[in-house]
Structures are given as structure tokens and as C-alpha cells.
């Protein structure tokens, strides 16, 4: 397992927990990333992000890690609960909690950079049971973005859609320039045989990215915000059916205004000079 590229700060709960996991990992003889990823049912990138303090793991991931490293599950359960409480207490920099009637308090999980957001979004894809609703309204296509985490997320959506069963992906793509038009033609050719994957295209007039969303089943909503530089991105996740319902309604409005991808590509081809 590669050593962390930066020194972790034990005063930060997420990073302190990562340091403790590193200690357990060393005491267990450093099981390989492949062994840990298999035990945790996640990607190598997710294991690396957890050990390097970029991501606080779920209890399910922590328990699988501890089991693979022959740790004491009850001891680590106490450690995880303590870290989770500290992170939730410190994790809302604006001091805000959004009250939802009859459902307690919504506590967003904040992702401060591209890697954090996309790693967690990919994990959300893999945990989804039946429905994914996503938007892609950006000035550059997905293959422009260079992080492995971004590539993992975009691939995970299509991989999930390819699996058989009663599942559905609906994606809205905003088109604002020639680069996006060219990419959407390639995307159509790459995905036209995926039966569980439906795409509609919207004309996007602004020379700026939209606020993008990924909605999983009826419970988890991810919202992404682009930065000034093309590779910058941050966002947050909220697990709340009530919160998500508002965004599903907005998604459905956008969907009703869109053009089916096949129809859009055909119209573009017909308009090209012979």
C-alpha cells in the first residue's frame, strides 16, 4: 500500500481516523489494496482515499476494513461513532442545518474537491437499486476532466445501466458549443445499445456550467458546483427523500423540455452539408 503523499493532521477528525486505520493496516502486515478493495466491495481508489484521509468511510466500509486487518470490531465501532459525531459537528462550515418537516434535520456531507465528490458519487451509483437521474450541463465533455475519480464516476453510471433488471438511468445533457455537440454524437454511438439508459438534450445558452445533480433512488441527492478553473469542482450530498423530491420535480421539468438524444443526433446529421 503506497504511503500517504501528505502529512495528516490528527486534530482533524477524518484525518485522525485515517491515521488510526493506517496503524491497523501496518499491524496487520499491510494487506494489499486489491485484498482490501475486494473485502470492502469498492474500488482501489476508494481504499486509497480512505487511507489518505481524503474520505471518511461508512461504517460498512470500516467494518470490512477492520475485519480484513483482523481488528476488534467493537473497538472500531466506538472509534467510528466518535469520529462521525465530530465530523458531523464540524462538517457544516456555514453553521446551517435545514429542517425538514416530520423528518428531523438534514445534515449535508460536504465534498471540497473533485476527487472527494466523484469518489462518493461513484459509491452512490453502486449503492443504487432502481433509478438514477443525472444532469450534465458543462462547457466541456466528461473526457476533458483528468482525475481518475471523475473517470470512475462517469464509467460507473454506464456500467450500472448495462446491468440487467428493472433499473433506469435518465440523463439530461446541456449543449452549448461545438465541443459538446461533437462529444454527444460520440456518446450516442457508445451508448445507443444500452436499454436502461435514456438521454435528452437541452440547448444551454450560457457560457458557464450549470449546477449539476445526481439523484439516486428516492433517498440520496448529490449537487455539484464547478469552479473557475475547468478541473475545479465541489459539492455536497443529502440523504433525505423530502429534500430529493424537490430536485426530482425540477429534473422532470427539464426532461419535458429536452430532445431525445437519437432524435437530436439525427437532426444534426440531416443538417450537415453533403
- Residues 88-106 have pLDDT tens digits of 665 444 334 444 444 456 7
Per-residue pLDDT, 228? 83
Helix (H, G, I), strand (E, B) or coil at 241: helix
Statement: 13-90 belongs to CATH 1.10.260.40? yes
pTM > 0.85: no
Tell me the domain boundaries of the chain: 13-90, 98-271
pLDDT digits (tens, 9 = 90+) for 162-202: 998 889 999 999 999 999 999 999 999 999 999 999 999 99
The CA–CA distances, whole Å, from 90 to 1, 14, 107, 150 equal 30, 10, 11, 26
| 217-253 residue pLDDT tens | 978 999 999 988 888 899 999 988 888 888 999 999 9
pLDDT (0 to 100) of residue 103: 46
Mean pLDDT of the residues in the chain: 87
Measured distance CA(237)–CA(27) in Å, rounded? 34
Q: Distances in Å between the alpha carbon of 53 and those of 23, 114, 135, 159, 186?
A: 13, 15, 29, 27, 37
CATH of domain 98-271: 3.30.870.10
pLDDT of residue 84: 80
pLDDT for the residue 5: 56
Amino acid at each position: 500500500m503506497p504511503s500517504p503523499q501528505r502529512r495528516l493532521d490528527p486534530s482533524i477528525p477524518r484525518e485522525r481516523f485515517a491515521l488510526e486505520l493506517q496503524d491497523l493496516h501496518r499491524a496487520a502486515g499491510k494487506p494489499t489494496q486489491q485484498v482490501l478493495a475486494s473485502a470492502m466491495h469498492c474500488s482501489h481508489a476508494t481504499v486509497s482515499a480512505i487511507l489518505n484521509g481524503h474520505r471518511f468511510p461508512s461504517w460498512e466500509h470500516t467494518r470490512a476494513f477492520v475485519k480484513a486487518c483482523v481488528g476488534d470490531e467493537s473497538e472500531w465501532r466506538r472509534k467510528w461513532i466518535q469520529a462521525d459525531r465530530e465530523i458531523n459537528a464540524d462538517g457544516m462550515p456555514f453553521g446551517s442545518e435545514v429542517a425538514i418537516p416530520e423528518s428531523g434535520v438534514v445534515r449535508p456531507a460536504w465534498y471540497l474537491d473533485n476527487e472527494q465528490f466523484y469518489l462518493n458519487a461513484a459509491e452512490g451509483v453502486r449503492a443504487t437499486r432502481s433509478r438514477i437521474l443525472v444532469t450534465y450541463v458543462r462547457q466541456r465533455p466528461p473526457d476533458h476532466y483528468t482525475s481518475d475519480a471523475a473517470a470512475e464516476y462517469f464509467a460507473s453510471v454506464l456500467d450500472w445501466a448495462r446491468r440487467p433488471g428493472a433499473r433506469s438511468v435518465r440523463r439530461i445533457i446541456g449543449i452549448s458549443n461545438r465541443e459538446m455537440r461533437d462529444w454527444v454524437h460520440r456518446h450516442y454511438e457508445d451508448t445507443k445499445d444500452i436499454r436502461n439508459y435514456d438521454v435528452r438534450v437541452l440547448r444551454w445558452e450560457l457560457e458557464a456550467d450549470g449546477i449539476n445533480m445526481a439523484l439516486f433512488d428516492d433517498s440520496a441527492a448529490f449537487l455539484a458546483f464547478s469552479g473557475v478553473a475547468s478541473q475545479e469542482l465541489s459539492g455536497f450530498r443529502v440523504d433525505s427523500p423530502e429534500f430529493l423530491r424537490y430536485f426530482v420535480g425540477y429534473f422532470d421539468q427539464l426532461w419535458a423540455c429536452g430532445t431525445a438524444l437519437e432524435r437530436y443526433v439525427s437532426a444534426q446529421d440531416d443538417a450537415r452539408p453533403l
